[in-house]
Amino acid sequence: MRTEFLTIYWRDMKKFFRIKAMLFTSLVQPALWLAIYGLSMSTNLDLITPGIPGQLGVASVNYLTFMAAGVISMTILFTCLYSGISLQFDKYYGLMKEMVASPLPRSHILIGISLSGVTKSLIQAVIIIVFGLVLGVRFFEGFTVWSTLLSLLGVLVFIVLFAMGLLFLSVVISMRIESHEGLQGIITLLSLPLFFASNALYPIDSLPLAIKAISYVNPLSYFINGLRYFSLGSNFYSFGTYYTYSAYDMLLSLTFLLGFAIVMYLLALRTIKKAKIV
């Protein structure tokens, strides 16, 4: 098997750890979200809805715990979408030229950078989970050691698929847009509906129809379903809404994310093969 994609991965990770400002912000920002927005919102919300009793025998989950999955998804969303910007820099400053002039297959460029995107996402998710547990996020409550491990594995699979899909999407955009400013704008524009038209911060059942429709085709929603299933269980009550996840729901979420990643990979491969890099 050819392993040149590891070279691309090697360089990308070096850059991640070497550019200190990038490393610092990408690790601290998610923690700040959880600490500032999460704590502020949850103290307020828990005041308004003090222990509205759920159905009998269903765990009631506080807001901080509910939105922690949202913060993880948002962090991965931004990390992966903004990777396109660094790719565009490579294209602009010529490094991409070195890669495409070499015998390295184009697919290895994609796999290499997506692996580094996944690695960064996993590091960030771990930080949020650990920091969240310190702040009072009640993940894996009532889980046995065995089922916690299994759940972590589930979380891992969902993060890998979600991060890859987003990264390939980011490649598709960044290879087609020539200006840095334009790319910044488009990524910001895209991340707004992706984040807010989803179940990241609130339940989608009561959302306006149009926004609800977007949330149904939004990979973020499916990713969060998976995260909540694995971290909170198949049956819980939060934010005035009763959540149940069946095995069928999980299969649907997994399939949707897998499909998203595959379609984006094929689009990205096509884009990078056609891109004129001179």
- Given a contact cutoff of 8 angstroms between Cβ atoms, the answer to whether 236 and 243 are in contact is yes
Rg of the chain in Å (alpha carbons): 20
> Which span (95-103, 179-187, 193-201, 210-218) binds another protein, by CB under 8 A?
95-103
Question: For residue 234, what is the DSSP state?
Answer: S
- Say how far apart CA 227 and CA 156 lie, in whole Å: 9
SS3 247: helix
- Given a contact cutoff of 8 angstroms between Cβ atoms, the answer to whether 148 and 139 are in contact is no
Q: Which of residues 8-27 bind another protein (CB under 8 A)?
A: 10-11, 14-15, 18-19
Residue of 48, 56, 210, 278 interacting with another protein (CB under 8 A)? 278
Q: What distances in angstroms separate CA 240 from CA 57, 61, 206, one per listed residue? A: 16, 10, 11
Residue of 28, 32, 52, 101 interacting with another protein (CB under 8 A)? 101
For the sheet containing 59-60, what is the strand order? 59-60, 235-238, 241-244
Minimum distance between the CB of residue 87 and another protein, rounded to whole angstroms?
13
> Which span (87-95, 121-129, 138-146, 175-183) binds another protein, by CB under 8 A?
87-95
- Residue 180 interacts with another protein (CB under 8 A): yes or no: no
Instruction: Compute how many residues bind another protein; rule: CB under 8 A.
Output: 24
Residue of 97, 180, 212, 273 interacting with another protein (CB under 8 A)? 97
Minimum distance between the CB of residue 277 and another protein, rounded to whole angstroms?
7
- Given a contact cutoff of 8 angstroms between Cβ atoms, the answer to whether 199 and 224 are in contact is yes
Residue 1 vs 145, nearer CB to another protein: 1
Interface ranges with another protein (CB under 8 A): 2, 4, 6-7, 10-11, 14-15, 18-19, 93-95, 97-104, 276-278
